[in-house]
A and B are shown apart, each in its own frame.
Chain A
Amino acid sequence: MGKNKTIKVDVLTRVEGEGGLYVKVVDREIKELRLNIFEPPRFFEAFLKGRLYHEVPDMVARICGICPVAYQMSAVHAIEKIFGLKVEGQLRELRRLIYCAEWIASHCLHIYFLSAPDFLGFESAVAMGKKYPETLQQALRLKKVGNELFSLLGGRPVHPISVRVGGFYKTPLKKGLKAFLSELENAFEDAIESIRWAINLDFPDISWDIEFVSLWNPEE
């Protein structure tokens, strides 16, 4: 970077939500830095008041089209806590599974479709696929498996309709899940390959004096 520089991005692309960025560098030092988030408010916290408890999981899903299950799970856990209800055993495992399906689909979107084109200097994943067809194919295969597992448990790949307080409206048949197993086994290879590929991307060498925190559940 030169000694003086101004970076102005009116709208950030390939991110979820809407925002802009302004950076002003003078003498190699950042003098001004503005991240402008103009994603409009939708007031979920306000309009949820006064709703019936069983409506909440369907409503909060609409906070985000990429990670609806995250909101649904937080909502059902909160409401179950109020009722003094604990959902355990197979139902809990199925909940974890639908969450994993969302992760497969959303992480695949994030890594391959939103971020990778920046690392490799393309405008989009499709453009990236012209030079690296196998990478795009791998992305599409993984996305498909994530979406299909999601639909198998949730009824459709966005805003699942099966999640409810207390468990599920309907659980998938063992037969259906078993039939899907081989697809998952193939996807496992693609997932490992994806990690290999991603760690070899050229990450900028920056380090901050920051402590990152991550949470984990010893039972899962």
Chain B
Amino acid sequence: MDKPRLAVFKFTSCDGCQLSIPDMERGLVDIANTFDIAYFLGLKSRKSTGYYGISLVEGSISTPDEIKRIRAIRENTHYLVTIGACATAGGLQALRNLKDLGAFKKAVYPKPEHIDALKDSLPISHYVHVDFELWGCPISREGLLEVLASFLRERRPNIQAYSVCFECKRKGTPCVLVAQGIPCLGPITRTGCGAICPSYGRDCYGCFGPSEDPNIKSLSLRFETLGLSKDEIKLRLAGINSYAFGKYHGKE
């Protein structure tokens, strides 16, 4: 049987998610033995076009050119997976969606007229159909391996969407919110990182995006009792996954 063709694409991002592939060390060799890595600019110079069995897409859509590129990729892909917060929720750069782009351009570039950027940084799913979204900033290697393994076996990835709190309980990490009054986003954030931050005695800052049915309103009220102002609570949610949290927040 021919090896399935795998492609890795980058849009507006930091490379952190796609580089979890060489970060897998020996896993990289296993992936290369199992898949035909047809397109991966970050690791391979030969570019093989055509139809891809699975495309891993990193990064958000933030320029007009990227809209064209993602549409072409969708047409040539059987199973399209977004990897990371940028691709799945617009990323940290989606903070500009809440502000005036013109002012942002002027604040950073001496010649803002040369900057070709869309008003909003948006998730891939805003423009094309996505078959599976893998959250995280960065994604976890285990998550990515599960996505690849499930693709080979033609089943849904076994990746949970409950909150980080469950993971803390399982690890026996004392709750930083209850015990120390730290405004932790764990109760509304998706599991998948291994609940690292609370085990370091600090707040989760939501890099894996919203969990299923996040009760943002109730957590905000809890934060108020900790003495956070409404503005501070807004800032807490306006982080790496601002666009995704904002969607829920807006509803309430």
Residues of A within 8 A of B (CB): 11-14, 16-18, 38, 40-47, 49, 51-52, 55, 58-59, 62-66, 68, 105, 109, 113-114, 117-118, 123-127, 129, 136, 140, 143-144, 147, 155-159, 161-162, 164, 169-170
Asked whether, in the complex, the Cβ of B16 is within 8 Å of the Cβ of A158, the reply is: yes
Shortest CB-to-CB span from B45 to chain A, Å, is 4
Residues of B within 8 A of A (CB): 10-20, 22-23, 25-26, 28-29, 32, 37, 40-47, 62-63, 65-66, 91-93, 95-96, 99, 103-105, 107-109, 115, 117, 121, 137-138, 193, 196-197, 199-202, 205, 207, 232, 235, 239-240
B16 CB contact (under 8 Å) in A105, A124, A159? A159
Chain A residues positioned under 8 Å from B96 (CB to CB):
43, 46-47
A113-B22, A140-B25 as given contacts; A14 in contact with B43, CB under 8 Å: yes
Asked whether, in the complex, the Cβ of B45 is within 8 Å of the Cβ of A124, the reply is: yes
A123-B44, A147-B25 as given contacts; A46 in contact with B205, CB under 8 Å: no
Asked whether, in the complex, the Cβ of B12 is within 8 Å of the Cβ of A42, the reply is: yes
B23 CB contact (under 8 Å) in A41, A44, A147, A164? A147
Asked whether, in the complex, the Cβ of A126 is within 8 Å of the Cβ of B19, the reply is: no
Asked whether, in the complex, the Cβ of B117 is within 8 Å of the Cβ of A113, the reply is: no
Ordered by A's residue number, 19 sampled pairs between the chains whose C-beta atoms are within 8 Å are A14-B44, A14-B45, A18-B10, A45-B107, A46-B99, A47-B96, A49-B107, A55-B235, A55-B239, A59-B239, A65-B138, A68-B16, A117-B45, A124-B43, A126-B43, A140-B26, A140-B28, A147-B25, A158-B16
Asked whether, in the complex, the Cβ of B197 is within 8 Å of the Cβ of A155, the reply is: yes
Shortest CB-to-CB span from A126 to chain B, Å, is 4
Asked whether, in the complex, the Cβ of A162 is within 8 Å of the Cβ of B200, the reply is: yes
Chain B residues positioned under 8 Å from A136 (CB to CB):
29
Chain B residues positioned under 8 Å from A118 (CB to CB):
45
Shortest CB-to-CB span from B229 to chain A, Å, is 11
Asked whether, in the complex, the Cβ of B205 is within 8 Å of the Cβ of A58, the reply is: yes
Chain A residues positioned under 8 Å from B92 (CB to CB):
42, 44, 47, 59, 62
Shortest CB-to-CB span from A50 to chain B, Å, is 8
| Closest partner residue, chain B, to A133 (CB atom) | B29
Shortest CB-to-CB span from A186 to chain B, Å, is 15
Chain A residues positioned under 8 Å from B91 (CB to CB):
42, 62
Asked whether, in the complex, the Cβ of A40 is within 8 Å of the Cβ of B63, the reply is: yes
Asked whether, in the complex, the Cβ of B25 is within 8 Å of the Cβ of A169, the reply is: no
Asked whether, in the complex, the Cβ of B45 is within 8 Å of the Cβ of A45, the reply is: no
Query: Besides A65-B16, A140-B25, 13 other CB < 8 A contacts?
Result: A14-B45, A40-B66, A46-B96, A47-B95, A51-B235, A109-B19, A109-B22, A123-B44, A124-B45, A125-B22, A147-B23, A156-B138, A159-B137
Asked whether, in the complex, the Cβ of A45 is within 8 Å of the Cβ of B200, the reply is: no
Chain B residues positioned under 8 Å from A117 (CB to CB):
45
A157 CB contact (under 8 Å) in B23, B63, B205, B207? B23
| Closest partner residue, chain B, to A142 (CB atom) | B25
**In the bound complex, CA of A46 to CA of B196 (Å):** 29
Chain B residues positioned under 8 Å from A68 (CB to CB):
16
Asked whether, in the complex, the Cβ of A66 is within 8 Å of the Cβ of B28, the reply is: no
Chain B residues positioned under 8 Å from A155 (CB to CB):
196-197, 199-200
**In the bound complex, CA of A64 to CA of B45 (Å):** 21
Chain A residues positioned under 8 Å from B65 (CB to CB):
38
**In the bound complex, CA of A155 to CA of B121 (Å):** 29
Shortest CB-to-CB span from A56 to chain B, Å, is 12
A169 CB contact (under 8 Å) in B17, B18, B46, B202? B202
**In the bound complex, CA of A43 to CA of B216 (Å):** 27
Chain A residues positioned under 8 Å from B104 (CB to CB):
43, 46-47
Chain A residues positioned under 8 Å from B42 (CB to CB):
13-14, 16
A64 CB contact (under 8 Å) in B15, B121, B199? B15
Chain A residues positioned under 8 Å from B115 (CB to CB):
41
B197 CB contact (under 8 Å) in A47, A49, A158, A161? A161
Asked whether, in the complex, the Cβ of A156 is within 8 Å of the Cβ of B14, the reply is: no
Chain A residues positioned under 8 Å from B105 (CB to CB):
41, 43
Shortest CB-to-CB span from A128 to chain B, Å, is 11
Shortest CB-to-CB span from B49 to chain A, Å, is 12
**In the bound complex, CA of A52 to CA of B239 (Å):** 11
Chain B residues positioned under 8 Å from A169 (CB to CB):
197, 200-202
Shortest CB-to-CB span from B37 to chain A, Å, is 8
